[in-house]
Structure 1
């Protein structure tokens, strides 16, 4: 594989030279710099005709970068992380091409030195270095390519003494480059030519090219996965001599197709997915037959109204021995409920798919009682699923209707959701009936990256990666099931169709949006992907929904020019009630939140418009690391369906209810507070209504700090402590002068009404004082707050166990709970017998002893910058007016996690925040009761405890 970089120095003025060189050199991938053209003037058509796809980030002058490739380009990012608004001369784009991550770089030279441009250059280098640290260790080939405007050594210039004060050769610049390389990158040219004076740039002045007065400014940095494949590197110096050429010459490297293997340039590799073991398909474990597997599952009645387990979208494929890989089918997700000669297919939105009666008829003949999970698809002649065909199947009957089944949740009186995926797959394979309409979707223990590329080559939508030992979390969006898409798809709500001036088409484009914080946000238009016949079908659906009211939160200019369409087309909007959902292919979401290169794929009648949110891919490595933690089987079995009990009417969006005799009004009940999970204000109120009997004892008679999130977890938040003249008459308050001398009135919680009134203000989390109004200066408990930085949660567990060891040696009882965010809280009962200062002093003694045991990853430094990335053992929370999430409090985090009390037996590796959420916490409490009761007990004898503390030798 041949990969090149070329600072073209004005692409439109030198397009003929670029095309001439592309034809001669025939590179597979090219990074271009200094485009010197705006985005809408990039010569995409000419490059496509030359056989190259392209992505680009342009600018009228100075710079701009592009990546060209003969194969498909998946754009990953179009700038470095971080902001720097002083100058905007640098450019960086990143793409995934043929299994390689390519970063294309352009950095201006930074002259004159000293000066603000040079300072900016160093700041940009630091951003690049920070980003590169996340890339260098990837289990994928990564190459950072382009014009760095750096001469790293004396060998990289014809005359070092001439450039002493030049920004290209300053010690600071060379040091920045050196720091980057020392992360583990390989400089391709310098590695293959360690002593050669190789140049890539010759100035236009004084016949620099003729005198070979050159500089090496263009570099390839390869991580280990790509460096292992490096075969050669050189400069096409002769191109610099072409008339009218750039002052840079093209530079290129060649990689072998396989790590450590010889170059096979000119031959496309045949992608073969190697099995990880002698049996790649998952089968019944040899030590268990069907009956023994079923006996491992608890007996249970068939559950009602289950929702399917959802997967998390990640950016790129990965390979890990603990995961299985499947095809991602392009159809309708459906749970099948089978029993007593009947069967029903149910969508994610609890809609019955009765139109696919051949499948339900076949399932009804299955002599079993079961709930299975799968995808309804229509296969074309090539055997691939066709999403557009499934929408028209009932009318046309084109293609082969198939239900691909990949999981089983319940079978013959046994709840299988707590079993490992491999066990459920084994049961499914053993019991699923043989029928051409009902097929087992195989899982493979293969190389995940190769499996993805095989899917890509075959034209399949994408793959699924599932943790082999994962339980089935009904209704959850799990990190143990991941999806990697070959094409980026996005479900959207249709808010309007538009018609351009002078057109004879039924409509020209669709105005589309997604829900964000309960409102429909416009994200652009889609104007392609349908036939004339399809337009007629769609228009028939549109007509009953036409309205004068714009459904978007802000009325968009649907005729707005863009960088890709600089002129107006006279587009007129026809607003629609937001009841229709469709699916589109997109190239990217731009920085202003609009879709780019959107193409219509089909209508989604199985989706609730209110649940359509922007699906943003997450970083693969982080998600895999979180999911590959040791599972806690006891906790995994506790996962249940979201509680359905409600004290609010389901059909009202605003309601006034008397609680403890206090009239409380709950507004905007359908407003989404947790958009990733589709959890609304109503869900939050229902949770606090149900948890109140457990939670109120820890709130009663305590002043409250109100942490308000009126627009959900991603909206702005603020603390409100003074509620003077703002509380209902049925609420209590406490006057208080804080340490700044400010007079305030705090809300004092007394009952469930107090809790629900706080929730009605948008208090997602509840923050009570440690002391009560009867003894405001004497806390009821002392708290040790374990606050991690970059530590794995298992290290938080280890630190908590060290705290317990210290407290056990003192004879002090302690009660742990998850913070619901990233850490843990450990409570010690004091019984309001001591001051805050005494409590803080005691906490400091504890954490000091703990820190002596685990100094390698803990810190007592209050300032974050002084902690060196270590976990903070926080004892300073023990003060008046402190804010910490109370027990049983929800947290404003994706997943709607809960700060949950634990037994010390549960504090062990594998524990994770997501084990305790709005979905399962009430069911857990009904099983465990209140584990925190001891916190409000009589409290320790601090004098005796301190005496014991002096005797401790750990």
Structure 2
């Protein structure tokens, strides 16, 4: 059940906003405040048409409250007990809905302090507290909901010092709220987000919403009878950004079915217990496991053991969630390891391709398993309570304390079959069927339970966190996937040890560790950790430190390791002993401060399985946004007409023009000798895709791509070290091109004389690729008519929108163009947006093209103003999608058709048929792996772009007639 509160701040003037949000969020019950309408002017009929019954208490001035519900409402009272002669306005209404007592509250603001309004606020609060005392211990579930006009803690305001004398933050107000909660009520938001700044209100003044200068004023208090059903809470912050919206955002909680909590607790208990058969069967038992495993395997393509073994990585998100189609597992606290089992021998490989020779008992147990397979899991040491202990695994080889276990949760390959493109449920069904009965090798089960309850059960059990995995997710090796998410009970961070420090006068081997993370190739200092080790552990660590001591500071900027802090205002005489940055450890942290430093860090253990260069700051992603992005992904492999589109397969070109055994090679292309160096260099590290793979792709796609490059000046966007390395644009190639290449002298609008490369044939394309041009950026016009573009482009550039909204915008463009008889050709950008091409036939100037594009996007913006913008400056767009018409200018370029993009997954800018432009499409549908197969089937869908072109004057005239 979804229950919400929304201070609407004048229901009749903001009714369209309210109805829009109700249609989007679909809450079951809603409490409204600040109706600002008289009793007989409440819009009951329009709310009824939207599917909501209502009870309300209207008021002409700034108060009035209402309760909306999809089901029957029985009104219990329309005011609090007791009377007050001053400021008597309607601020409380109580109703019985679906077995729950709902109290809707608007507590007076009380400003200014001191004054009679503030005194009245406290008296009103006392009336509420007295009434609440009669409700808190009832057998019925009770929730008191609404705008309390109180910020209970410092976490509830962006700037506590600003509100010291504000009635919303006065000690008297906070104490009154605390007295209320202490009766036994649960503050829902703070219960689920105990240490996060959650805001529900942003003032209209001084751009408060854009700066996130917010306050938490809207609260849910749950009595004991219903508090255990609390499963989620969220602020629909985006609604505050809608045009003419209230200064509050809607806030809602989710109540789970009464048996969910017990089910999740049971799942955790069974997973960590020693009993071999859990009472709750994992999801694979219910679904795919019932299928014939032989049938599943028959659908998997044949293939050798994957040559580039990398584990699938999960994205860290802020908080747990519950969503259909997701399974939940325990997050084990150990070493991630892939196991390759062949010919009765097994090797355990870390995520950094290091062999885990120290865990021989696991390898020996796997070697006795009479299969050839590649599996994925976590090496852990379990205590007597069945929980993994990270510190124990580090000492296991020496002490042999605890039980060494390999918790297996996935299978990639089995007996000549590549399973990575099967859904997770089917892979787990195969794994569970063949996994041996062994105390050392165990199945890590996935459960179909409420994700939020599962997380809280893990939290209470003292487990590190949980994993959430889409039930139909494929195994994307090396990728930081949004289809696998991790939610941590404690925030952990891997860090590089750059120094140890020793305080003046101490007898300890060291006092603290100076730690950092890599950012853009340099080690950045993020603070110190000074706790978490024993004296014995210090001796072990010092033995590792001593060989690495150096005079050179490894951080990009030498830090002051003795810098005073808020909690340690005096210096301790700490002296740094710099270390070569070769050691990685893991720390617990409370938070990362605004200046990028760790707070309350505690050492957890050394990480032998991590490459220091891979250690970056792990910032939790927004859960709702991440889950939405994952949910929009289609079942890619199953929906593509050709199964060779698997994103995680090694590329197998039809006719590779490069020798796979050589790392450097000179090849004649179109009679032009081209040298290709460092062919094994990885350009897409998450996917293991190399320069050789890129050259082979452009060799194959050239026949489709060259018509859109031929005779066009090129802007070279170079990525010499792959997609995560520094990049730069090069436009002037004077004296730098081979004799077999063509150039065009050109003076740009700044008066700068340049020579642009002109693409003429496949050799031009491959020479650009040899320079590290991952993406190809041609002009819109050709050398024969440099001032007259061959096409006009509408560039849909989203900000915070889902790709489905990009689709919606593209379809609006099509509607406008269809209305004026203009044929257009869409393609994915290969990044986050879409490009729509309109043929011009080189008959018009860039100015005319830009004018026409502006007319189109202006008409589109009128249709969907709620999420689009025509503002060129990002800061002025308010997070909306930019309808970019300004690309239509001389020298401007965008990623050309069939171009690769420097994005994880090696995506491709791919032409589309308009019937493919529909919700569910994503940029990852078209990659280096599947694009050639698609083109062999569809042919070139973009041919019309180079056609005769529109009659611009007739088209504009028709637009003026239709859209006048």
Q: CA deviation at 1:400?
A: 0.2
1:818 aligns with 2:828: yes
What's the CA shift for 1:301?
A: 2.4
Q: Contact 1:818/1:825 (CA < 8 Å) preserved in 2?
A: yes
Alignment pair present for 1:640 and 2:635: no
Match of 1:483 in 2: 486
Whether contact under 8 Å (1:704, 1:767) holds in the other structure is: yes
Say if 2:142 and 2:223, in contact at 8 Å, map to a contact too.
no
- The superposition leaves residues 147-184 of structure 1 with CA deviations (integer Å, 9 ceiling, x where unpaired) of xxx9999xxxxxxxxxxxxxxxxxxxx99999999999
Deviation at 1:855, TM superposition (A): 5.9
Residue 471 (structure 1) shift = 1.0
Q: 2:592 pairs with 589, 592, 613, which one?
A: 589
Distance 1:719 1:336, change over 3 A: closer
Could you say what secondary structure the match of 1:363 adopts? helix
Name the CA shift for 1:833/1:912 in 2 (closer, same or farther; >3 Å). Answer: same
Q: Which runs of 5+ in 2 are unaligned?
A: 6-16, 37-58, 70-77, 81-89, 94-102, 129-140, 151-164, 189-219, 231-258, 268-278
Whether 1:421 and 2:382 are equivalent positions in the alignment is no
Matched residue, 1:191: 92
Partner of 2:262: 272
Equivalence for 2:635: 631
CA distance in 2, matches of 1:444, 1:497: 43
1:453 to 452, 456, 461: 456
Q: Please give the residue correspondences for 1:716-727 in structure 2 after superposition, counting only pairs within 5 Å.
A: 723=732
Residue 549 of structure 1: SS of its match in structure 2? Answer: coil
Displacement of 1:479 in angstroms is 0.3
Taking the TM superposition and a 5 Å limit, the aligned residue runs for 1:520-535 are: 520-535=523-538
Match status 1:250 vs 2:250: no
Counterparts of 1:344-355 in structure 2, within 5 Å, are 344-355=347-358
Q: 2:386 is matched with which residue?
A: 383
Of 294, 310, 327 in structure 1, the residue corresponding to residue 330 of structure 2 is 327
Maintained 8 Å contact 1:203/1:214: no
Shift of 1:701: 3.7
Between stretches 479-488 and 903-912, larger displacement belongs to 903-912
Question: What is the aligned residue count?
Answer: 772
Deviation digits for residues 356-400 of structure 1 (CA, Å, limit 9, x no counterpart): 111111111112121111101000111110001111111111100
Give me the whole-angstrom Cα distance separating, in 2, the residues matched to 1:856 and 1:321. 31
Does the 8 Å contact 2:334/2:379 carry over to 1? Answer: yes
Question: Which whole-Å deviations, capped at 9, do the CAs of 1:280-329 have from their partners, x for residues lacking one?
Answer: 54315376221222223222222223211100000000111211110000
1:412 CA displacement:
2.3
Q: Which residue number in structure 2 is paired with residue 60 of structure 1?
A: none
**Partners of 1:140 and 1:749 in 2: CA distance:** 62
Aligned to 2:143: 229
Tell me if the contact between 2:107 and 2:125 (Cα under 8 Å) persists in the aligned partners: no
CA distance in 2, matches of 1:619, 1:141: 25
CA distance in 2, matches of 1:321, 1:861: 36
* Cα displacement string for residues 618-664 of structure 1 (whole angstroms, at most 9, x for unaligned residues): 10000011111243334595212576999999999xx9999988999
Instruction: Provide the residue aligned with 1:748 in structure 2.
Output: 757
Q: Any idea what the Cα deviations from partners look like across 1:882-928, whole Å, max 9, x if unmatched?
A: 33222344556666644334566754432212344xxx515643674
Structure 1 residues 605 and 650 mapped into 2: Cα distance closer, same or farther (>3 Å)? farther
Residue pair 1:202, 1:213 contacting (<8 A) in 2 also: no
Is the contact made by 1:201 and 1:215 (CA closer than 8 Å) also made in structure 2?
no
Distance (whole Å) between structure 2 residues aligned to residue 610 and residue 210 of structure 1 = 57
| Cα separation, 1, equivalents of 2:952 and 2:111 | 74
Partner of 1:263: 224
Q: CA deviation at 1:355?
A: 1.5
Contact kept? 2:796, 2:835, Cα under 8 Å? yes
Contact 1:203 1:247 in 2 (8 A): no
Identify the match of residue 302 of structure 1 among 305, 316, 323: 305
Q: Which whole-Å deviations, capped at 9, do the CAs of 1:167-226 have from their partners, x for residues lacking one?
A: xxxxxxx99999999999x99994379999979899689xx8999897989999xxxxxx
SS class of match (2:357): coil
Is the CA contact 2:911–2:942 (under 8 Å) kept in the aligned structure 1? no
CA contact (8 A) 1:889 1:899 kept: yes
1:903–1:931 Cα contact (<8 Å) kept? no
Contact 1:306–1:641 (8 Å) recurs in 2: no
Partners of 1:432 and 1:491 in 2: CA distance:
32
| 1:460-514: CA deviation from partner (whole Å, max 9, x where unpaired) | 0000001111111111110010000000011111111122222221111111111
Tell me, what secondary structure is at the counterpart of 1:355?
helix
Q: Provide closer, same or farther for how the CA distance between residues 558 and 211 of structure 1 changes in structure 2, counting only shifts above 3 A.
A: closer
Q: TM-score when scaled to structure 2? A: 0.66
Q: Is the 8 A contact 1:829 1:934 kept in 2?
A: no
1:715 is displaced (CA, Å) by 10
Cα distance in 2 for partners of 1:492, 1:183 equals: 50
> What's 1:363 paired with?
366
User: Residues 803-842 of structure 1: matches in 2 within 5 Å?
Assistant: 816-827=826-837, 832=842, 836=846
**What secondary structure sits across from 2:433 in the alignment?**
helix
> What is the CA–CA distance in structure 1 between the aligned matches of 2:108 and 2:856, rounded to whole Å?
62
CA RMSD of superposed structures (Å):
5.9
- C-alpha separation between the residues in 2 aligned to 1:766 and 1:231? 56
User: In the alignment, which residue of structure 1 is the partner of 2:193?
Assistant: none
Q: Does 1:793 align with 2:795?
A: no
Match of residue 781 from structure 2: 771
8 A contact 2:869–2:880 mirrored in 1: no
C-alpha distance 175-662 of structure 1, shift in aligned 2 (>3 A): farther
Q: CA-to-partner distance for each residue in 1:917-951, whole Å, 9 max, x for gaps?
A: xxx51564367459785646794334699999989
